[in-house]
Amino acid sequence: MWTLPQKFKNVSQCLLESNPLGNCHMKTEWPYLIHEIKRIGQEVIFCIDCPLGHEYRLPKQYAKAVSEEDIDTVNSYRILYAVIKKVRADGSGISDLVIE
pLDDT tens profile 2-51: 999 999 888 888 876 676 676 677 888 989 899 999 999 999 999 997 65
Contacts of 41 (CB under 8 A, 6+ apart): none
Contacts of 69 (CB under 8 A, 6+ apart): none
pLDDT tens profile 63-73: 999 999 999 99
Report yes or no on whether pTM surpasses 0.85.
no
H or E, element range at 14: helix 4-14
